Amino acid sequence: MKQIALTGLKPSGSPHIGNYLGMLKPSLELAEKFQALYFIPDYHALTTVRDRKQLADLTYQAAATWLALGLNPDEGVIYRQSDIPEVFELAWALSCFTTKGLLNRSHAYKAIVDDNIAAGREEDKNINVGLFTYPVLMAADILLFGTHFVPVGLDQQQHLEITRDVALTFNKNYGDVLTIPEAVIRKEVMTIPGIDGRKMSKSYNNVIPIFAPPDQVLKPVKRIVTDSKRPEEPKDPDECNIFAIYRHLADVDAVDAKRKLYLEGGLAYGPMKEELFALLEATFSDKRDRYNALMENLDELDKILEKGAEKARDIARPILAKVRKAVGVSL
């Protein structure tokens, strides 16, 4: 049987090129080698999203994103966290093996505490218990499926360490019940720059969206910051924010030719932006159509997600049964 790789996609709105290149594309490639599981942690999002419609919409958007980009639901398993009740039961069991000190040291929790202290507020102000125990629910997401590999960005590395810690503590008490997962740190750790050269991120307002209508893609492309070198001057392609995106989307020969043109002189930024825009359209216009079609047919999306949840629960049930047996609760 193939080993299991699991990826979660936060329901946080329409993706940008940074998400695509840094996370979505690599996650889809996992299905070639592993039994790949893809889920949307919608109950996790309840720690911060308090609008019912918004939470549901964002969850559909995340599912449609993966499917539009080529996830084949007959190969990969795609599901909503909230469709798997076993996750929440396991989370309780795991919480009894998680020391409070371990969660106190979580970077994500500490960052909010630090913000509170810096602003002169009480240190746990506005921190709900869901936010505090977030890593326990994440551990349940992973351990419930006997996951072997979890691809993570550097930001999630510590959460995975917590998962391993909790699983090892559990196994120390009961024997080899839980599979200890390994982090696969996305090694390129390539950070895609946004249109201002800083890391592309919604919080910097510097993103190029992948599923937005063409005019909303063209606008940020035109605003990509460049230096003021004239076309005939030689330029360093590795210093150029247009090339930083172009090189990940164009084919190898085109990238080589472009690199040469930068170095030798003769490249003008205006036409280069137009070329990048054309490349974005060629890469994403079909996918955007598929995304829009899925978002207009939520019944179809629900069906795909429900089918995925059934498959996921088939994997989960025997593992949860092992946990129940190990701890001595009702079978």
Can you tell me which residue has the tokens 């505490």? Answer: 113
Q: For residues 206 and 224, what is the distance between their CA atoms, to the nearest angstrom? A: 9
Residue, CB closest to ligand AMP: 22
User: Does residue 22 interact with ligand AMP by CB under 6 A?
Assistant: yes
Q: Coil, strand, or helix at residue 183? A: strand
Minimum distance from residue 154 beta carbon to ligand AMP (Å): 8
Q: Which is nearer to ligand AMP, 198 or 222 (CB)?
A: 198
Q: What is the DSSP string of 203-254?
A: GGT---BSSS-HHHHHHHHHT-------TTS---GGG-HHHHHHHHHS-HHH
User: Does residue 32 interact with ligand AMP by CB under 6 A?
Assistant: no
Minimum distance from residue 322 beta carbon to ligand AMP (Å): 31
Q: Which of 102, 199, 212, 255 binds ligand AMP (CB under 6 A)?
A: 199
User: Does residue 19 interact with ligand AMP by CB under 6 A?
Assistant: yes
User: Does residue 10 interact with ligand AMP by CB under 6 A?
Assistant: yes
- The torsion angles phi and psi of 315, rounded to 5 degrees, stand at -75, -35
Q: For residues 315 and 331, what is the distance between their CA atoms, to the nearest angstrom? A: 17
Region binding ligand AMP by CB under 6 A among candidate stretches 10-18, 54-62, 131-139, 285-293: 10-18
Minimum distance from residue 54 beta carbon to ligand AMP (Å): 16
Minimum distance from residue 235 beta carbon to ligand AMP (Å): 22
Q: Coil, strand, or helix at residue 83? A: helix
Q: Which of 71, 94, 200, 295 binds ligand AMP (CB under 6 A)?
A: 200
128-133: long-range contacts (C-beta < 8 A, 24 or more apart)?
128/47, 130/46, 130/47, 131/47, 131/48, 132/103, 133/91, 133/95, 133/98, 133/103
Task: Catalog residues that contact ligand AMP under the rule CB under 6 A.
Answer: 10, 12, 18-19, 22-23, 153, 155, 191-192, 199-201
